[in-house]
Amino acid sequence: MTTILTPNAPQPIGPYSQAVREGDLLFCSGQIPLDPKTGAMKNSSIEVEAEQALKNLEVVLRAGGSNLSGVIKTTIFLTDMNDFAKVNEVYAKAFGDVKPARSTVAVSALPKGARVEIECIARVL
């Protein structure tokens, strides 16, 4: 198992890795909308949060030898299912024709007051 850690994505805020690579698979921890340069939340709207979480996820994927086209499965965590349609639009734009398997679940809270967190499993390209 190889630990993935890049300074270009938010640093872990707990005892976990940004991602781990096992063979040809990359397991990415959930990303919230933290700006990796400032550490501040990008939370002016749910769309901005989703965009930043996906940007952070993409940076971790690249550090681990993959990208969004290599994603097999995602899980989206939302604190409000009323945000589902807006997050779905941002997600669809980011992934384009790539349609990984996905689960979306409602949770009572996320770290640092985020409204969305996205994690994934990808194949190394």
The whole-number pLDDT of residue 92 equals 98
User: Per-residue pLDDT for 103 more than 90?
Assistant: yes
Mean pLDDT of 4-14: 94
Total-model pTM:
0.96
Mean pLDDT of 15-39: 97
User: Per-residue pLDDT for 13 more than 90?
Assistant: no
Average pLDDT of the chain? 97
List of domains in the chain: 2-123 (3.30.1330.40)
- Between CA 100 and CA 81 the distance in angstroms is 20
Mean pLDDT of 17-43: 97
Q: Is 55 exposed, middle or buried (0-12, 13-18, 19+ CB in 10 A)?
A: middle
